[in-house]
């Protein structure tokens, strides 16, 4: 069975928690995980390094467009990284994801 994972770094834990709660309450995702990261990147020609929080969301293929649109509209970054990919999961977990997003 397959589900879709979304990975998006956000500014801080408050934003990650808020977005995670919203997408689960709206049934756009079954689950939201957050974890701190250290990011290094070029922005406008300058090397940047800062702490962020990753929001990892689990959803179904049928909710991917709605979830992506929600994240694009609500994310605090002007150029957010919103990555998604399909993954294989065990049957019972996949069924729970489906039931949680109906």
In this prediction, residue 8 carries a pLDDT of 98
Closest by Cα among 47, 61, 57, 63 to 83: 57
Residue 13 near residue 73 (C-beta atoms within 8 A): no
Q: What is the dihedral of CA 28, 30, 36, 38, to 10 degrees?
A: -50
pLDDT in tens, 57-100: 999 999 999 999 999 999 999 999 999 999 999 999 999 999 99
In this prediction, residue 70 carries a pLDDT of 98
Domain count, the chain: 1
pLDDT in tens, 24-51: 999 999 999 999 999 999 989 999 999 9
pTM: 0.92
In this prediction, residue 91 carries a pLDDT of 97
User: CATH number for the domain including 55?
Assistant: 3.30.70.120
Full domain range(s) for residue 16: 2-100
């Amino acid at each position: 069975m397959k589900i879709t994972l979304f990975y998006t770094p956000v500014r801080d834990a408050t934003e990650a928690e808020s977005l995670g709660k919203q997408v689960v309450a709206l049934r756009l995702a079954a689950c939201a995980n957050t974890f701190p990261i250290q990011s290094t990147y070029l922005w406008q020609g300058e090397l940047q390094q800062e702490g962020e929080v990753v929001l990892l969301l689990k959803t179904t293929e049928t909710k991917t467009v709605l979830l992506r649109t929600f994240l694009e509209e609500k994310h605090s970054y002007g150029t957010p990284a919103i990555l998604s990919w399909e993954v294989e999961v065990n049957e019972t977990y996949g069924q729970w994801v489906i039931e949680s997003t109906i």
